[in-house]
Chains A and B, each alone.
Chain A
């Protein structure tokens, strides 16, 4: 029993919320309470039901059963504007704002100050916007079109919008996913300020350090159910992880005894007018080669030019000693080089199409007969690879868009493996996917390398780079800074080289 004198009344309470989609029970009798001036962290793997909960809170989905109680009053959130009226607002992973409108318009869209004849009062809108932005310590010109802002600033605009509607509940759905460390610190400061103003904050994140840094309370979801809730001060990180995945996280990365074989891919002096220059490296059979660097270091651009999406201005690539001439992805696939892109939804999966059609898309020439589709072969091929990756789906004709992020990634990886490649390039293979799927992808990468496939892994996650790679290439500003064998490599070295601290220090001492 909690003591009523010390515990404030929750602003928002969910009781027994249930939501079912065709074939999936997304949420099953879930409870949640948010308190004023406190941050509650919502933790769970992808597919645990977090996004569905956010959509219910913001009025996009209606629960099948259960109660939403705002200030002790049961409320129906029939649509987005009802949620806004109830004082609930959300800041999403990728902010849903309007690129072509100004900052002020974005903040006041839907509740702009009106002047005479009901026309918009532009002057006041700008003034108020400036005021709010100042309050959150954001130096943004309210007249700028949103397009001109970086993601961090867009988040600030979203927060300003939340304040402008007098929100009392702010839902933050992985707000730090696209932010730099400095920007994350600013966000923390801002969250502290929101707390001081008495807002109740629901903070959704995959990153435990953030949760422990910012949250007072936690709620853990697993498979659409609430498995635990309590005060952050009462738990450890390991306990939370265990609650979230339902198992102990003892060995996160698979143990590999790799003995890379002969050189398969040689890249020499690859250059691009703007993105990268003088890139040379070798890739050996059965090897996992990690590419580490900050976002924008040119890693994805190199991989995409190897895959034929863009053209390098200079340089050559050889596969098994033979010079490659790759002009389109089709050429690359024919040569046995495949690329699992970072942007799953746009470049990887065709979300409106069924799983099996996604998997067989680049392999249709093998499942078909003289250009005519043979469905049975397609299903066999798709089943073979998706089951190997432990895909969680109800049937192979389910559309990919209905799967969780981790399972979508498994479909994309299955698609590329089905082409039986020689070199597979994985660009941020576990970004934004849950711990369980992450482990499955890692295990699978190790398996592939052991089978003699050459793997290039582009990653910005240091544990992943250190845990999976045989060799690591560090990049900065379009150039290779260094190459290291895994043994003896430390996170500090990676961070320093990627950010160029060492280099600046040297220059300064030389000067």
Chain B
């Protein structure tokens, strides 16, 4: 009798099945950060409508999208990078260098196709450079990319001094100023396509799952057979590539290159990502959140612009918004706790 294998301590009732999910879909959706962001976005939309009679004009709204499309393209890749536990602060520097390279090529008669290839290519090379420094040499990405931020932009200052590159071909302008249909700009379409692609990659592929795993616990991810360095390398490359694409759009839109192009964008992009609910510590976040955050930041900037609010006040407003939105859930939590005790 004592030779019989022991019965399990907590024998489950026969046929017990672990449910897939604890809460229903609606409960999960309602509690999500994205819903809160969407509510804020709608509120800002109405506030803008109420504050300025010009806001609801389709062409004005269309113009407003340029406030976020280029930044958001980079923010998508940045979101993946931050979820994996890394960061790239050199993105604006990459734009400057890629734009300078394009402007330089124009002087030698490069056509539109070559310009796009150069812009995107330089971006990818810069991203790969960051990636190699971080993954091969094991350096912290925040330090590496602060360094390359100055390095990349420094090169364009050396090349350009206080000059500007002009003379981009007519057809090149389409990437920044072209419209696909009525008020729908090429950039807006690009933004939407990238949003879908990135959402699919992050939430619907094994690669995306690996990103979350790495961000939450790189050691356990390695032990689970994920090639952590390879994933991170790919993400740096991707971020550089997206910066190159953004450089093409921005340069085409402005029609000229100065070394101060896209100055300070890295912080706005990181703000966008964090506002979108991506954990700055890595491991959590969604593309939908970043999309809504991009819309919010674009609308706020544009709404304040319509009201002739000076730029410095805008950045104060965006900073306050960021802190407020981040503090809100925590404040609710504290209030609830206070009620209980």
Q: Indicate whether B138 reaches chain A with its CB closer than 8 angstroms.
A: no
Name the contact of A339 in the complex, choosing from B10, B204, B207, B223 (C-beta under 8 A). B223
Whether B8 lies near A347 (C-beta < 8 A) is no
Q: Indicate whether B21 reaches chain A with its CB closer than 8 angstroms.
A: yes
Whether A364 lies near B223 (C-beta < 8 A) is no
Question: What residue in chain A is nearest B11 (Cβ atoms)?
Answer: A390
Q: Indicate whether A349 reaches chain B with its CB closer than 8 angstroms.
A: yes
For B212, the chain A residues whose CB sits under 8 A away are 353, 357
The stretch of B12-20, B67-75, B106-114, B125-133 that contacts the partner chain: B12-20
The stretch of B45-53, B95-103, B142-150, B224-232 that contacts the partner chain: B224-232
Q: Indicate whether B308 reaches chain A with its CB closer than 8 angstroms.
A: no
Whether B223 lies near A329 (C-beta < 8 A) is yes
Given contact pairs A62-B341, A390-B8, A439-B6, A346 touches B219 in the complex (Cβ within 8 A): yes
For A245, the chain B residues whose CB sits under 8 A away are 9
12 extra A-B contacts, CB within 8 A, seeds A251-B3, A373-B208: A250-B6, A254-B6, A255-B5, A341-B223, A347-B223, A353-B216, A361-B213, A362-B224, A372-B206, A373-B203, A436-B8, A439-B8
Complex-state Cα separation, A247 to B6, whole angstroms: 9
For B222, the chain A residues whose CB sits under 8 A away are 309, 328-329
| Range class of the B interface residue count | 35 or more
**How far, in Å, is B262 (CB) from chain A's closest CB?**
33
Complex-state Cα separation, A76 to B340, whole angstroms: 13
Name the contact of A330 in the complex, choosing from B11, B207, B217, B225 (C-beta under 8 A). B225
The stretch of A2-10, A92-100, A205-213, A395-403 that contacts the partner chain: A395-403
Whether B205 lies near A373 (C-beta < 8 A) is yes
Complex-state Cα separation, A426 to B319, whole angstroms: 50
A-side interface mostly: loop
Complex-state Cα separation, A439 to B10, whole angstroms: 11
Q: Indicate whether B283 reaches chain A with its CB closer than 8 angstroms.
A: yes
Complex-state Cα separation, A395 to B341, whole angstroms: 30
Complex-state Cα separation, A439 to B19, whole angstroms: 25
**How far, in Å, is A382 (CB) from chain B's closest CB?**
8
Question: What residue in chain B is nearest A438 (Cβ atoms)?
Answer: B9
A-B contacts, 12 of them at CB < 8 A, read A76-B341, A254-B6, A328-B227, A350-B217, A350-B221, A372-B204, A373-B208, A383-B17, A395-B19, A395-B21, A397-B22, A439-B8
Q: Indicate whether A371 reaches chain B with its CB closer than 8 angstroms.
A: yes
Whether B21 lies near A396 (C-beta < 8 A) is yes
Beta-carbon contacts of A331-368 to B below 8 Å, as 1s and 0s?
A: 01110000101000011111111001100011011001
Q: Indicate whether B2 reaches chain A with its CB closer than 8 angstroms.
A: yes
Given contact pairs A309-B222, A350-B220, A353-B216, A330 touches B206 in the complex (Cβ within 8 A): no
Q: Indicate whether B312 reaches chain A with its CB closer than 8 angstroms.
A: no
Complex-state Cα separation, A248 to B207, whole angstroms: 48
For A271, the chain B residues whose CB sits under 8 A away are none
Given contact pairs A348-B223, A439-B6, A443-B5, A397 touches B21 in the complex (Cβ within 8 A): yes
Complex-state Cα separation, A273 to B20, whole angstroms: 47
Complex-state Cα separation, A45 to B11, whole angstroms: 16
**How far, in Å, is B85 (CB) from chain A's closest CB?**
12
Whether B20 lies near A397 (C-beta < 8 A) is yes
**How far, in Å, is B7 (CB) from chain A's closest CB?**
7
Whether A396 lies near B204 (C-beta < 8 A) is no
